[in-house]
Amino acid sequence: MNTFLIIVHVVVSAVLILVILLQAGKGGGLGGAFGGSTQAVFGGRGAQTFLGKVTSAAAAVFMLTSLSLSYLSTRSGSVVKEAPAPLAAPPPAQPGQPAQAPPKG
C-alpha cells in the first residue's frame, strides 16, 4: 500500500508540474513552445477551463496522497530504537564480609 501511494504521488506530481507549465499565463506558458498555441486545439476559451480542471484534479489527488503517506508514516512506529534494559548491578556487600576483589589477569 505504501509503495503504491508513493508511485501515485510521484506520477501525480509530474503531471501537476506539466499541466501547470502548459497553462498559458501572461508570458504564454510552455504551451506555445510545442508547436503553436494550445488555444487553437481546445478552442478560444476551452484550454483554460480544461487545463484548470486537470490542475484542480491533480492537486486534489496530490493532497490526498500527501495526507495518506503522512498518516501511514506515523502508524509504522518509531524510528528511534528502544534502549536496552540496564544490566543488573551486583548486590551490595553484607556488613562484616570483605568486598570481592576484581579478578586478576
71 Cβ partners below 8 Å, 6+ apart?
none
Instruction: Output the pLDDT for position 102.
Output: 65
pTM, 2 dp: 0.55
Q: What is the largest CA-CA distance in the chain?
A: 103
pLDDT digits (tens, 9 = 90+) for 65-104: 999 999 998 886 666 777 777 777 766 767 766 666 666 7
Between 2-22 and 46-75, two packed helices, what is the crossing angle to 10 degrees? 150
CA-angle at 78, arms to 72 and 83, nearest 5°: 170
Q: What local confidence, expressed as pLDDT, does residue 6 receive?
A: 94
Confidence of residue 17 (pLDDT cuts 50, 70, 90): very high
